[in-house]
Structure 1
Amino acid sequence: MPTTAMNPAASIFPPSSGVPLFKPGAVDKYFQRYQSFGYNPSSETSVLKTFKRLAISQGWSEGRRREEKGKFQTAVDVEFTERVGSGFALEDWQRLAKVIGIEPLPGSITQCRKMIEKENINIYHILHAYRRATEVMSIEDVEACKGITRFRNVAELKRYTQKHKMYYRKEYAKGSVLKGLLRRLK
């Protein structure tokens, strides 16, 4: 039975083979609300850079930008959960572990969560990997995504996140998988 990008059970990678699974998600719907922006959903689009371009194109004040950033991050949480999974299925956790390069693959949700929580990864890298997903037939075929940087420690992640302004605020993370990836950076 074929899977879809919005189905968390969908497999991902390798990017050079398989059927692209991209379908517009919650982030794309957020951008499409601004018709004058002329947004076209794409699996290659950096959602954070697109938000920055949207803010400039709309001429938002700093206050309005903060308000809209909250709405945007809520959309990111929804899309992250739709694409990665809610955290209630072992397959979701195992797929994420493989995508970020954890080997050997843990055999339980608890083991997966513990291994993933040790990683220092920017959330937006993971979302972009899932937006570029292609269908594969089994979890064994999932490969680590080269576009996801695994930082050696929180200090490295913090420097990268600050440099690129790729923050994700804790209060917008509702999905359990997403919460496990958050780190205190300020």
Structure 2
Amino acid sequence: MARKKKGQRNIVQEFDNYFGSGTLDDWQRLCKDIGLRGEFGSKTKCRKALRTVHINIHDLLDAVKQGREPHRFRNVHELADYTVENDKIYPKKAVKEMGPVRALLRRVL
């Protein structure tokens, strides 16, 4: 994993701390924090639901800290423009195969 620059946010560690160990409760909390409504009785249902939303992971963590829902972009193009313009990119090489970030990650470059 690349070193972070001094003063730069360690987004991978922040997300890992927020998400927890990956229990169904952790997945359900993530769906709720994003503002998804419905019954998510399995991790697979959560993953499928997360694929339908376009959010920035940096903004998700900030919103959770502030007790609000993160901004949801209408499409991947809006998310990509915002992410690149604001340099809020999650490092692809830190993504776990079946983890929640995989479900949230979009191609922005």
Q: What band does the TM-score fall into relative to the shorter chain? A: 0.7 to 0.9
Task: Give CA deviations for 1:99-157 in whole Å, capped at 9, x if unaligned.
Answer: 11111131111101110122111000112133345xxxxxxxxxxx33x1111110110
| CA gap 1:86/1:183 in 2 versus in 1, 3 angstroms | farther
Please say which structure displays the higher CA radius of gyration. Answer: 1
Runs of 4+ aligned residues of structure 1 deviating over 3 Å after TM superposition are 130-133
- The aligned counterpart of 1:80 is 15
Q: Cα 1:81–1:68, aligned 2, differ >3 Å: closer, same or farther? A: closer
Q: 2:27 aligns with which of 74, 86, 93?
A: 93
Gaps of 5+ in 1: 1-65, 134-144
* 1:140-177 per-position Cα deviation (integer Å, ceiling 9, x unaligned): xxxxx33x111111011011112212112201234811
Other-structure match for 2:45: 111
**Higher alpha-carbon deviation: 165-174 or 116-125:** 165-174
Is 1:130 aligned to residue 60 of structure 2? no
Q: 1:76 to 1:162 in 2, by over 3 A?
A: closer
Question: What corresponds to 1:140 in structure 2?
Answer: none
Match of 2:74 in 1: 152
Equivalenced residues, count: 105
Cα distance in 1 for residues equivalent to 2:25 and 2:107: 27
| Structure 2 gaps, min length 5 | none
Aligned equivalent of 2:4:
68
Aligned residue number for residue 55 of structure 2: 121
Distance apart, 1:67 and its partner CA: 4.7
Computed over aligned residues only, the root mean square deviation of the Cα atoms, in angstroms, reads 2.2
| Alignment of structure 1 residues 34-49 onto 2, 5 Å | none
- Identify which of structures 1 and 2 has the higher relative contact order when contacts are C-alpha pairs closer than 8 Å and 6+ apart: 1
Change (3 A) 1:131 1:124: same
Identity %: 40
The TM-score, its normalising length taken from structure 1, stands at 0.50
Paired position in structure 1 for 2:95 = 173
